[in-house]
Amino acid sequence: MRIGVLGGDGFVGWPTALHLSARGHEVVIVDSLVRRQIDGELDVQSLTPITSPKERRDAWAELSGRHIHLERIDLAKDYGELKAWLAAFRPDALIHLAEQRAAPYSMKSARQKRYTVDNNVNATHNLLAALVELGLDAHLVHLGTMGVYGYSTIGAPIPEGYQPIKIDLPNGDVAAQDILYPANPGSIYHMTKCLDQILFAYYAKNDGLRITDLHQGIVWGTNTAETGRDERLINRFDYDGDYGTVLNRLLIQGAIGHPLTVHGTGGQTRAFIHLQDSVRCIELALQNPPERGERVKIFNQMTETHRVRDLAAMVSRLTGAPIEYVTNPRKEAAENDLVVKNDQFLALGLQPTTLSAGLLTEIVEVARRYGHRVDARHVPCVSAWTREIAERLAAERRPHLVKAAS
Ligand code: USQ
């Protein structure tokens, strides 16, 4: 297949591009490289020393004999360039990962909120509009999030996208419908993925676009079979308070002897998936597209659920690092259960890589190898969800500032 990996320079995009290239697909990465610019803006670098876009693609060509071309296009802004590239490449499929994906970054200030909405919504909409304008029948596979559902559960498992409902009619009859599961975003970032769902539903209905939306949980791990082949192919590994995700952060904190930062009581239960399974799921979704005219196909892309404090206890046992329960900078339920259906990927043959101690140790080893690159100033999560929380955090930090000043 001819496949465009949009956002193919990022944490999931790069391993996805390599995985698909290794399986013989013709892969083009489309990326604005903005994620590398945000590293500069936040003054923090990936724990792992990622090479330049050119160097990593040259290394892949040398090792595999396969070329991955890069198109530097900002999907949200460069509509003309996007259209020209689509018209020339005529992809069979597009993997859309070209969105700002960090919840804490999206909550930093009005500037990042506006950037996240402008970027994510326009990128998705430009892509859909261009496919229709060009009359292209490429299968669009979008990386969405479990966060569209919110995380609380009323005891029933969260279905894969659609909730069957019954509506009482005035004449006493009952009408049955499938609706998108009620959107319940917990951050501006998650909100943009809810908006994406509406765009997809509309374009599938109105224009018959073939769309798959993958509602992914929190990714852990850093390497896949392909990125592990050579140091020059190394994947990015975020540990900072904005882009680092919880399990990877805890593992790095443990590796460098930093206290494990648990927000609140750590009673938040979340869905998780290993990076290797993430790229495998994307490949399975590609192999099983919806028909033209079919509703958006939605998969829950996760393999297990865990409570944050249980993860911290596991990492503490593994590394000896103490656990620190800190004021939660987010506005989220302190405790929640989470039961999620993921039958579709299991039926397609996904064999989950679960949190075995072996793999956790492997990540701790990677973290120890590059631990000297950690800038401890960037370890805490400081992005507050509301003004009140920001004031509470500032009040807590004041004694330290006084101590430092005296
Ligand atoms: N948390 C801690 N300590 C930390 C960092 C986080 O207790 O040091 C807690 C958070 O308060 C939250 C939970 O861990 O309750 C998860 O936080 P996270 O940063 O790992 O995940 P999140 O912000 O939800 O976002 C990540 C990805 C996003 C993806 C999402 C999937 O950045 O792109 O969509 O996971 S999901 O969480 O299922 O919505």
For 85-134, the pLDDT digits (tens) are 999 999 999 999 999 999 999 999 999 999 999 999 999 999 999 999 99
Q: Is the CB of 308 under 6 A from ligand 1?
A: yes
pLDDT in tens, 303-335: 999 999 999 999 999 999 999 999 999 999 999
Burial 371-387 (b: 16+ CB within 10 A, else e): bebbeeebbbbbbbbee
Closest CA to 286 of 127, 68, 91: 91
In this prediction, residue 399 has a pLDDT band, given cuts at 50, 70 and 90, of: low
CATH code of 60's domain: 3.40.50.720
Domain containing 140 equals 2-405
Please name the residue whose Cα sits nearest to atom 17 of ligand 1: 246
Please name the residue whose Cα sits nearest to atom 32 of ligand 1: 102
Q: How many domains does the chain have?
A: 1
Query: Does pTM top 0.85 for this prediction?
Result: yes
In single-letter form, the type of residue at position 194 comes to: C
Contact of 344 with 226, CB cutoff 8 Å: no
pLDDT mean over 179-192: 98
pLDDT mean over 26-46: 98
Q: Is the pLDDT of residue 154 over 90?
A: no
In single-letter form, the type of residue at position 379 comes to: V
Q: Which atom of ligand 1 is nearest to the CA of 329?
A: 11
Please name the residue whose Cα sits nearest to atom 16 of ligand 1: 246
- Exposure on the CB side of residue 230, measured as CA atoms within 13 A: 14
pLDDT in tens, 224-252: 999 999 999 999 999 999 999 999 999 99
Q: Is the pLDDT of residue 297 over 90?
A: yes
State the Cα–Cα distance between residues 83 and 245, nearest whole angstrom: 34
pLDDT mean over 286-290: 98
Candidate from 78-82, 149-153, 397-401 with smallest mean pLDDT: 397-401
In this prediction, residue 398 has a pLDDT band, given cuts at 50, 70 and 90, of: low
Q: Cβ neighbours of residue 381 under 8 Å, at least 6 residues apart?
A: 104, 241, 242, 261, 263, 329
Q: What percent of the chain has pLDDT over 70?
A: 98
Return the pLDDT at 60: 98
CA distances in angstroms from 334 to 148, 216, 316, listed in the order given: 18, 22, 21
Burial (CB count <10 Å: 0-12, 13-18, 19+), residue 76: buried
Q: Cβ neighbours of residue 341 under 8 Å, at least 6 residues apart?
A: 157, 158, 159, 160, 300
Burial (CB count <10 Å: 0-12, 13-18, 19+), residue 6: buried
Closest CA to 250 of 145, 335, 382, 367: 367
Q: Is the pLDDT of residue 41 over 90?
A: yes
Provide the annotated active-site residues: 145, 189, 193
- Give Cα 232 to chain centroid, integer Å: 23
Q: Is the CB of 268 under 6 A from ligand 1?
A: yes
